[in-house]
Amino acid sequence: MKILTERVPAQRAQTGLLVLALPAGDSPADVAAVDHASGGRLLAEARQRLDDPTRRGSVFVFQSHGMLAAEAVALVGMGSDDLTAVSAWRRLGAQATTLARSHRLSRVAVSLAAAPAGAARTNAAGATAEGALLGLSGVRSRRSKPEPAGPEELLLVGVGPGPAVERVLKRARAVGEATWLARDLIATPATELPPAEFARRAQAAARSVGLEVRVHGEPELHRLGMNAILAVGRGSEHPPCLIELIYRGGGKRRRPLGARHLAFVGKGITFDSGGLSLKTPSGMEIQKRDMAGGAAVLGAMVAIARLGLPIDVRGVIPAAENMPDGRAYRPGDILTIFGGKTVEVRNTDAEGRLVLADALAWVSAGAGEPEKPRFVVDLATLTGAVSVALGREVAALLGTDRGLIGDLLEIGRETDERSWELPLIDEYLPGLRSDIADLKNTGDGGAGTIFGALFLREFTGGLPWAHLDIAGVAWADKARACTPRGAAGFGVRTLVALAERAAHRRSRTATRARVSPSPAARGSSRGPSGRRR
Ligand code: BES
Ligand code: MN
Ligand code: ZN
């Protein structure tokens, strides 16, 4: 999809479908002008057909029959949404491409005049473009007669070209296309995407943006002592691997990662049958999505590299297929995780926390690099219980650092990838004790999402850490605001925004340190994400 900008009045925009935001209260100038050009018919008909065309989410499509430069106009109710904030525009952008697609129009325009001119409008343009890309699924169609693709052109009306607009559009493209990459991987049937193929796809995507990829295969996993990844993958014909993505944005290439690097970990179970603790048929139907955390980490790393953020990031994806077989790992097995802790396997279907334990212990130790990361965030389709607790709209967020959790909650609201915090209740920890090993991989009843996170915490080496359980949100059975039905790519936007925040704080810190080199301006007074406490 081409994205163009034009500073013409909305009524003169040449396009197939012109989308206008219609907030409650007085009509914005663009709506008034288009209404005027239609001889007052646009609003009159909208009010006649709909109880309240300004209601959030309501859509009225008007055929212009030559009265306007656009073939049709869509009035989209914005309710009392804040039109100075990006999330309303992101949703509007998604609605624009969805509408264009369903009306089979190749060109769509969105008028930005309802956003205040200046920085707010520039940001609205970026958010609209991002939403427009997100509104298209990005998943390769597998029907014999492919469904209509989205529009070929998006026109943003009311902003001109210029460096600020170029910058937000570049970001929109990077985030949107990275989300498509993640969605397409998640939607790919598990038979077509064993761990090695996931790794090849990661290499291909990374190569085009100058991201370094290392794939650690079985022999390497043995050498490193990643016995949980090996055990989980042993029942499959397709060997497991650990996919490592390295982005060195904080200066020279080919140097070790610095102490301020960020670490992202994503669960990459390419198919979860449950293993010998076999799932039910209905529980298994949907388990190709069990690598959604890994796909989000890959997408975010690709976007971060495309944007050239001035920060170092390490992304790690433990990839394995969990299958039952004569060689499969068994309930009762005892595994030694990277770093030495032992785990008694009670249930082979609690495999995500096992592969993540190896990966988290490894990145938290800063293994292979001179320094440990500043913080670790993992994304995982970890528990069915999270949908019971929170449903299908919000992810569960658990972690050990208030600053990091605060950032992620705020970013979730800004990006429309919402999360809600659940507590890490220490009193439940004894429920993970094993009679024979350090830990067992299941809790002792209830609070499944909390037990999963408590287990993971044991492998984070005391570093600031946050965990997003995305099992409920990785796939949209019903379309969400910026997510069509199907694979969601949840987490790409969140991780990119988190890296941007960290990079921004880092550069501010550097400036301040140069101006006034007081020790108080350095690490000690800051939270782990660089924020002042
Ligand atoms: N991959 C599943 C969780 C899941 C469920 C993801 C539904 C997407 C949709 C995970 O590996 C799992 O099986 N979790 C178990 C843990 C239990 C055995 C402690 C669960 O939630 O039942
Ligand atoms: Mn499982
Ligand atoms: Zn799983």
Q: How far apart are CA 155 and CA 111, in angstroms?
A: 8
pLDDT at 527: 42
Burial group, residue 293, by CB count within 10 angstroms (0-12, 13-18, 19+): buried
Closest ligand 1 atom to 290 CA: 1
- Rounded to 5 degrees, φ, ψ at 121 are -75, -35
- For residue 226, the domain's CATH number is 3.40.630.10
Q: How far apart are CA 533 and CA 531, in angstroms?
A: 6
Residues 205 and 80 in one domain: no
Strands 475-476 and 465-469: unpaired
CA 324 to chain centre: 31
153 inside domain:
no
Q: How far apart are CA 83 and CA 119, in angstroms?
A: 12
**Of 136, 160, 190, the domain-final residue:** 136
234 inside domain:
yes
Residues 242 and 357 in one domain: yes
Residues 360 and 485 in one domain: yes
- Best of 272, 388, 467 for a ligand 1 pocket test (most atoms within 8 Å of beta carbon): 272
Residues 403 and 502 in one domain: yes
Contacts of 189 (CB under 8 A, 6+ apart): 288
**Ligand 1 lined by 310 (C-beta under 6 Å):** no
- 488: nearest Cα among 205, 184, 193: 184
Residues 132 and 188 in one domain: no
Residues 244 and 341 in one domain: yes
Residues 93 and 227 in one domain: no
Residue nearest to atom 22 of ligand 1 (CA): 384
pLDDT digits (tens, 9 = 90+) for 119-163: 999 999 999 999 999 999 999 999 999 888 899 999 999 998 999
- For residue 20, the domain's CATH number is 3.40.220.10
CA 468 to chain centre: 10
Residues 99 and 182 in one domain: no
Q: 319, 407 in Cβ contact below 8 A?
A: no
Signed CA dihedral, 269, 271, 439, 422: sign only: positive
Residue nearest to atom 14 of ligand 1 (CA): 383
Closest ligand 1 atom to 289 CA: 8
> Considering 121, 288, 353, 501, which one is annotated as catalytic?
353
Tokens representing residue 474 in the block: 């990785």
Q: How far apart are CA 87 and CA 92, in angstroms?
A: 9
pLDDT at 533: 32
Residues 115 and 192 in one domain: no
**Ligand 1 lined by 471 (C-beta under 6 Å):** yes
pLDDT at 432: 98
Contacts of 430 (CB under 8 A, 6+ apart): none
Closest ligand 1 atom to 383 CA: 21
Q: How far apart are CA 169 and CA 389, in angstroms?
A: 37
521 inside domain:
no
31 inside domain:
yes
CA-derived radius of gyration, the chain: 24
The residue ranges of the chain whose pLDDT is under 70 are 251-254, 510-533
530 inside domain:
no
Tokens representing residue 226 in the block: 């990643």
pLDDT at 204: 97
The domain total for the chain is 2
Distinct helix (H) and strand (E) counts, the chain: 15, 20
CA 493 to chain centre: 4
Is 478 an active-site residue? no
**Ligand 1 lined by 448 (C-beta under 6 Å):** yes
**Which listed ligand is nearest to 490 at the C-alpha?**
1
> Considering 279, 314, 372, 505, which one is annotated as catalytic?
279
Residue with tokens 């949908």: 387
Q: What is the whole-number distance in angstroms between the Cα of residue 183 and the centre of ligand 2? A: 20
pLDDT at 322: 99
Strands 375-380 and 465-469: parallel
Q: 292, 139 in Cβ contact below 8 A?
A: no
**Ligand 1 lined by 384 (C-beta under 6 Å):** yes
**Ligand 1 lined by 406 (C-beta under 6 Å):** no
pLDDT digits (tens, 9 = 90+) for 191-241: 999 999 999 999 999 998 989 999 999 999 999 999 999 999 999 999 999
**Ligand 1 lined by 442 (C-beta under 6 Å):** yes
141 inside domain:
no
**Ligand 1 lined by 385 (C-beta under 6 Å):** yes
**Of 90, 118, 136, the domain-final residue:** 136
Is 279 an active-site residue? yes
110 inside domain:
yes
Q: Which domain holds residue 63?
A: 2-136
Residues 183 and 323 in one domain: yes
Contacts of 376 (CB under 8 A, 6+ apart): 263, 264, 265, 360, 363, 364, 460, 463, 464, 465, 466
- 300: nearest Cα among 255, 266, 251: 266
Q: How would you label 214-247 residue by residue, b for 16+ Cβ within 10 Å and e otherwise?
A: ebbebeebeebbbbbbbbbbbbbebbbbbbbbbb
Residues 19 and 112 in one domain: yes
**Of 112, 136, 160, the domain-final residue:** 136
Residues 432 and 297 in one domain: yes
Of all helices (H) and strands (E), which one includes residue 127?
helix 119-135
Q: How far apart are CA 96 and CA 115, in angstroms?
A: 16
pLDDT digits (tens, 9 = 90+) for 361-401: 999 999 988 899 999 999 999 999 999 999 999 999 999 99
211 inside domain:
yes
Q: Is 190 helix (H, G, I), strand (E, B) or coil?
A: helix
Q: What is the pTM of this model?
A: 0.95
Closest ligand 1 atom to 452 CA: 19
- Best of 383, 454, 475 for a ligand 1 pocket test (most atoms within 8 Å of beta carbon): 383
